[in-house]
Amino acid sequence: MQRRAFIKRMAATLGGFILLSRLPLSSADNGHENAAPPHLPWPYTRLDPEETRKLGHLGYYLFECAGGAFWSIAVQLREKIGYPWTLLPIPSREEAMEAVREGKHLHSLFQYGYGGAVGWGTLCGALNGSLAIIQMVVGEHKHWDALGKKLMRWYESTPLPSDKSNEYAVKGMMYVPKEKMKSTKWLPSNISGSTLCHVSVGKWCEISGYASGSKERSERCGRLTGDVAAMTVQLLNTYFEKGLSAALALAADVRLSPTTASCRVCHYKGKDYEAGQFTRGYLACESCHRDMRPHAHTFVSLGGGHGEAGLKGPSWARDLAIAGLGAAAAAGVAAGVLAGSGSREDRGEEEKEG
Ligand code: HEC
Ligand code: HEC
């Protein structure tokens, strides 16, 4: 209840913010000049994922990852729908193209999200900007939550940058003019295993051999921004045309990692402190917690299954929980899963298993 009230307040705040910062309105405004911004959700229309991939890459050059992802989708909605998207203080496609050609700086929304929020290395900005759009156009709380969780886990478990964005860059098919590109090479891809900018960038640098301050690393994040925005549009297109289950089925093999699912049997946001409910979150546990053997003796019993719409664990983890296996079995399962977690080969396995 409280959470819902809070979210309503947030929506009201966002609405107020947009009202205060409105720009002179374009002709696409259709006579809404004095109208207050409508409540969320704002209207959506089918967008082309490939167009979005290229715009996300262009957006990165001007507004970095979070600003670029948000802009690439919002600007298209403004072009196609007009009001209320005309209320957003974001540059037009033409202004963006001109700024890239002439090396000018422009302001847009969500630029704060660069480098995992003001460079802090937390949530990848491409996710941050994309999640914002998902929430703005999908009214139902449960639905944007489920779609957002899909996007997060897809990011953790998909090799990025994608072959498509590499191909566009190599063949000169991006909107950023070739002479302005930071790199036109085919860049290595990897599975980050994390939604954190710090981990995602660090692991990519390790496998590619490029420094975090290199042009190639920056270009990698530009292509990745397009990839995340394109996936967001794929999810949204399917959601609005065929409904939530169809959208979630788009990435049906994208589930919690087996380790995370096994940990979340006990560790989730709940009320039973003794059972392990003094933590929360879906971050891939194995990306940080490597050796959990010391606490295996404390596994007393497995609680009930704990799934949330749109992001279930592998079914064996839930079956185990439902079967209510005892201490020895629980410790054995966790120790077995843990013994192999964290290694590269394992990530490949995890992908195949889903
Ligand atoms: C069967 C239930 C259960 C499972 C499964 C479980 N834990 Fe725990 N965990 C607990 C309980 C209960 C505690 C608190 C008691 C303690 O600290 O010894 C705990 C404590 C911890 C702690 C606190 C520090 C420590 O080592 O004592 C960490 C970190 C932790 N768990 C991580 C994990 C991770 C990561 C996984 C999955 C790989 C996992 N746990 C799976 C029940 C569980
Ligand atoms: C980005 C790194 C990271 C990830 C991913 C991560 N943790 Fe942690 N976790 C930490 C850190 C850091 C601490 C604090 C350790 C400390 O205080 O010694 C911690 C503490 C904990 C604790 C003990 C809380 C306490 O201080 O008593 C538990 C339990 C735990 N994590 C479970 C999990 C589970 C379950 C997952 C996966 C759903 C997970 N963690 C994912 C970094 C991470």
Q: SS in 3 state form for the chain? A: CHHHHHHHHHHHHHHHHHHHCCCCCCHHHCCCCCCCCCCCCCCCCCCCHHHHHHHHHHHHHHHHHHHHHHHHHHHHHHHHHCCCHHHCCCCCHHHHHHHHHHCCCCCCCCHHHCCCCCCCCCECHHHHHHHHHHHHHCCCHHHHHHHHHHHHHHHHHCCECCHHHHHHHHCCCCCCCHHHCCCCCCCCCECCCCCEHHHHHHHHHHHHCCCCCCHHHHHHHHHHHHHHHHHHHHHHHHHHHHCHHHHHHHCCCCCCCHHHHHHHCCCCCCCCHHHCCCCCCCCCHHHCCCCCHHHHHHCCCCCCCCCECCECCCHHHHHHHHHCCCHHHHHHHHHHHHHCCCCHHHHHHHHHHC
Among 257, 295, 301, which is best to mutate for testing ligand 1, by the most ligand atoms less than 8 A from CB? 295
Ligand nearest to the CA of 330: 1
- When pLDDT is cut at 50, 70 and 90, the band that residue 256 belongs to is confident
Residues in contact with ligand 1 (CB, 6 Å cut-off): 259, 262-263, 265-267, 275-276, 285, 289, 292, 294-295, 298-299, 302, 330, 334, 338
Give residue 178 CA to ligand 1 midpoint distance, Å.
Answer: 51
- When pLDDT is cut at 50, 70 and 90, the band that residue 36 belongs to is confident
- Region 54-62: mean pLDDT is 98
Name the residue at shortest CA distance from atom 15 of ligand 1. 298
Give residue 296 CA to ligand 1 midpoint distance, Å.
Answer: 7
Task: Report the C-alpha gap between 348 and 159 in whole angstroms.
Answer: 10
pLDDT at 102 over 90: yes
Evaluate: CB of 12 within 6 angstroms of ligand 2: no
Atom of ligand 2 nearest to the CA of 282: 38
Atom of ligand 1 nearest to the CA of 263: 37
In the prediction, which pLDDT does 2 show? Answer: 43
Among 256, 262, 285, which is best to mutate for testing ligand 2, by the most ligand atoms less than 8 A from CB? 285
Atom of ligand 1 nearest to the CA of 297: 18
Give residue 200 CA to ligand 1 midpoint distance, Å.
Answer: 25
Evaluate: CB of 283 within 6 angstroms of ligand 2: yes
Evaluate: CB of 263 within 6 angstroms of ligand 2: yes
Question: Which of 7-21, 122-136, 205-219, 292-306 is least confident?
Answer: 7-21
- When pLDDT is cut at 50, 70 and 90, the band that residue 123 belongs to is very high
Give residue 326 CA to ligand 1 midpoint distance, Å.
Answer: 15
> What Cα–Cα distance (Å) separates residue 301 from each residue in 222, 321, 333?
46, 9, 12
Task: Write the pLDDT tens digit of every residue in 137-162.
Answer: 999 999 999 999 999 999 999 999 99
In the prediction, which pLDDT does 119 show? Answer: 98
Atom of ligand 2 nearest to the CA of 287: 5
Name the residue at shortest CA distance from atom 36 of ligand 2. 285
Give residue 125 CA to ligand 2 midpoint distance, Å.
Answer: 22
Q: What percent of the chain has pLDDT over 70?
A: 73
Ligand nearest to the CA of 122: 2
Ligand nearest to the CA of 260: 2
- When pLDDT is cut at 50, 70 and 90, the band that residue 207 belongs to is very high
pLDDT at 219 over 60: yes
- Region 325-333: mean pLDDT is 36
- Do 71 and 86 form a contact (C-beta atoms < 8 A)? no
Question: Which of 14-18, 299-303, 350-354 is least confident?
Answer: 350-354
Domain ranges of the chain: 14-250, 258-353
pLDDT at 234 over 50: yes
